């Protein structure tokens, strides 16, 4: 699978980077490695040398009717300035859970038009699996002046846009939740079930448990996704409960060359409104 569409000719690293590739570039001055673990202890226990720590909660609004939505641009400007992002920075994100929070960071970068980014395939598990050196010394970021704007709004899709597109044969929805949530047997929203026509592949099923949570073989994934009706010619929206798991499926879709958009509201919004159609 080519990731050439990812303007790789002037990018330091490909969209999906292997531990050994990253190791070779650790000293590159334009590199900003960000560890976004689900478990905060993970960074203290050991991280990629030079990686800075990001609390994943900063990637979500945290308040209002849709707390998992994108934070306001003023907040994103402060956040990315504190992390030391510049226009020339190449960000490598990873985490300790196979890509959810790392991908949420990359999706946020995509939204603000910062396309110089990579995902460390498998995160800290793959780094350890490769036997590479870790650091337990925290790295302090070098602050910058970054002004975030939503330069690429099409990376996201809204509840209303999805409702409008439901009858469109060229539109598909990848629900990255568990089967029980998709079937409406589990969840703590006002309404349970799934968006009409959505297909279900649990985000965990896109990870290779035998290869330290790296993304599964592309050809196998492609075959399974195509069988579900998720094909590169369609516009695909992906969601979960809070656009954490589905940030990873957004990234997988991007790596496979799909035209894929993330629904930040996810089921947290869809399942709590009264004007959204639902199937069980």
Task: Determine what percent of the chain falls in helix, strand and coil, rounding each to the nearest 5.
Answer: 35, 15, 50
Closest CA to 91 of 192, 186, 6: 6
240 is catalytic: yes
**Three-class SS state of 35:** strand
For the chain, how many residues are written? 280
Contact 29, 22 (CB under 8 A): no
Q: From CA 259, how far away is CA 23, in angstroms rounded?
A: 30
How many C-beta atoms lie closer than 10 Å to residue 239's C-beta?
32
For 118, phi then psi, to 5°, come to -145, 160
Q: From CA 97, how far away is CA 125, in angstroms rounded?
A: 8
Catalytic one among 240, 252, 255, 260? 240
Catalytic residues: 240
């Amino acid at each position: 699978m080519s990731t050439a569409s990812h303007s790789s000719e002037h990018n330091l690293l490909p969209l999906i980077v292997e531990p050994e590739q990253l190791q070779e570039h650790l000293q590159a001055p334009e590199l900003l490695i960000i560890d976004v673990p689900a478990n905060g202890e993970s960074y203290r226990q050991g991280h990629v040398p030079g990686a800075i720590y990001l609390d994943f909660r900063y990637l979500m609004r945290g308040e209002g009717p849709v707390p998992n939505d994108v934070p306001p641009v003023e907040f994103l400007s402060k956040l990315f300035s504190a992390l030391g992002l510049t226009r020339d920075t190449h960000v490598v994100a990873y985490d300790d859970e196979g890509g959810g929070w790392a991908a949420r960071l990359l999706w946020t970068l995509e939204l603000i038009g910062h396309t110089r980014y990579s995902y460390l395939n498998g995160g800290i598990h793959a780094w350890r699996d490769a036997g590479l050196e870790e650091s337990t010394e925290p790295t302090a970021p070098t602050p910058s002046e970054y002004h975030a704007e939503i330069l690429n709004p099409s990376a996201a899709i809204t509840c209303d846009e999805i409702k409008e597109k439901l009858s469109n044969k060229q539109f598909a929805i990848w629900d990255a939740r568990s089967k029980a949530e998709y079937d409406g047997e589990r969840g703590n929203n006002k309404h349970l079930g799934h968006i009409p026509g959505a297909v279900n592949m649990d985000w965990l099923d896109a990870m290779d448990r035998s290869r330290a949570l790296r993304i599964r073989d592309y050809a196998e994934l492609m075959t399974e996704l195509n069988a579900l009706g998720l094909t590169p010619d369609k516009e695909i929206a992906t969601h979960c409960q809070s656009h954490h798991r589905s940030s990873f499926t957004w990234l997988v879709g991007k790596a496979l060359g799909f035209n894929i958009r993330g629904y930040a509201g996810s089921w947290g919004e869809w399942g709590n409104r009264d004007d959204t159609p639902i199937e069980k």
